[in-house]
Homo-oligomer: A and B are copies of this chain.
Amino acid sequence: MLGHKIRELREQNQMLLRQLAAQLEIDTAVLSKMERGDRLFQKDDVKALAGIFNQSEEELLTLWLADKVLKAMENENYKQQALKLVLNTLK
Least CB separation from A69: chain B residue: B86
Determine if B58 and A70 form an interchain contact, defined as CB atoms under 8 angstroms apart: no
Interface residues on A, range: 20 to 34
Within residues 34 to 91 of chain A, which ones have a CB less than 8 A from any CB in chain B? Answer: 58, 61-63, 65-66, 68-73, 76-87, 89-90
What's the nearest-Cβ distance from chain B to residue A51, in Å? 17
In terms of DSSP, what is the predominant structure of the interface of chain A?
helix
What residues on B are CB-neighbors of A86 within 8 Å? 66, 69-70, 73, 83
Determine if A1 and B83 form an interchain contact, defined as CB atoms under 8 angstroms apart: no
> Which residues in A have some Cβ–Cβ distance to B below 8 Å?
1, 58, 61-63, 65-66, 68-73, 76-87, 89-90
